[in-house]
Structure 1
Amino acid sequence: MFVTEKLNIISTLIERQGFSEKLQKMLGQHYVNLEATLLRAKVLREFSTSRVQYIAQSTIQTEQANLGFLFAPFILANLNQSVIYHSPATAPVLSILGRYYQVGQIQNLKIDEVLSALNLYLDLAETSFSEADFFYFSLIKALCRSDVSQIFLITDLKLDIAQFAEVEKFFKVVIHYIETDPQDKIAEAAELNMRQLFFKNKDDQYIALCEKFSKLNAQLLQCYGIYSQGQAVQLVEDMFYAEHIYEKLSVYGEYIQTRLQHDEHNINANFLA
């Protein structure tokens, strides 16, 4: 696909799965010149003063424990990291986030504007992608940003680890592969009690759930090399008990909802004029 040989390594990261025709066509529509965009981001990355953490998570299905990673961007943001989170907008994701803002209407908001205001952006993708296409598209979106310094790939896809070092070296980014287990189950997201999930008072069920979510998200913190497993788990668990995740999610939801209402007001005003 690419003229530059090194770029073709990207399409070999999933074992026995490359770019589909559908993905290649969509990339052609999304980017005027993808190769030039990737190479430009690679060059500018050395000079970028911003350090964005990019989390790409594969599809979260109903009752899967990997729903816990939906809170990863809020956890990292609480640690003063600038974060973009990218995942398909499946029912479990919409069930959680839809309680805080109108999730389906954010397609007109610019990522960089929200990131500048909050150091946090949730980029929810359409669900028509295959797992492999979403993975590759998400990775390319990350690599096309010169401010992205670390990429977290959260997926149950089998990746070719041997190729990671080549991509990291060429693009001057750090890539972390966090493998998920689709058979690890929890209750449906629609039934989750947000007050017990995010606040101090929890029954036995939510004590166990927060422990599970904390262990999952601790994997991201350990990637920074400054926390032991025990320290990382305890730090995340404290956020679930001290309302820190709730506060960050609430502020994000309030900001997005205000922007949406402002944009809708302007559209209606222009229409009536």
Structure 2
Amino acid sequence: VDNSNGEVHYLDPYAFTEYDRWTKHADMAYQYAKCIEANIRDDYARNPQASPLSSTNISIYFDIWCSMNGRFQQRVYDPRVDLLKAEWSPFKHTSWSLPLLNELNYMRPKLKTMTDEVMAWSNYSDVIFVADFPGLTLDNYISTDLTNVTLTILAGNVRYKSDDEDESYFLTAGKSFGLQSGETHHITTIGLKPSSYLYTFMNKTMIDSATPVTENINQKPKKPLLPLWDEFRNRIKNYKEFLKHMANCVLYLLYDVPIPMEVRERN
């Protein structure tokens, strides 16, 4: 967030790292936020006219979701906390690291049953389970690749609001709501207890690209005339990956921060 004008900007999570361990470790997230700040300040100092920011007076927030061992998708860190001002110490509890929603563990067997039911609808059906903390809002965009999207509340109370509608809706456990593809909606958990809900959907892209299988399933696959050619191509691919990693090491030595090659090329 640019604090000078209040504008919100979004950053590629892998802009300055190839790895995602920081998404699950508070100490790494804290360090990565400082790394982002340092790089933004350096870029702004070199060429302020090319920067989308009006100043280096910024705040950095992480909104990260994760599913732990088959549980609901839930937030890892409090998205309302500016990590540049957050406190962190190896000897203290990290207040902005959100706890695991263990109070919903009783629903885990039900999640498995519901997943099996949805997956049995079609080869292109799927389901996502979400849990959120009281007072927080999920902003979610439904991709145009999806169709027949339905929101169902499992527990708790939520307020649903779509960007295309002026009216908001109060939904309780057991209520379902059809969603339009290509639209953004907002789900706010209200009350004192966490909410849990699920999305069911069909993958429209996979449906459109599906082709009937007309080949004889008993027919044995043909062996390539030159099996060594496939091995040669795999070796070439691995060699390219090796060169890519070596180039990233050189960039790390030059810029003192791990910058993936594709990011440097894109910039």
Q: In which range does the TM-score fall when normalised by the shorter chain?
A: under 0.3
Give the TM-score normalised by structure 2.
Answer: 0.22
Q: Which has the higher strand share?
A: 2
Give the TM-score normalised by structure 1.
Answer: 0.21
Structure number with bigger Rg: 2
Structure with larger RCO (C-alpha < 8 A, sep 6+): 1
Q: Which has the higher helix share?
A: 1
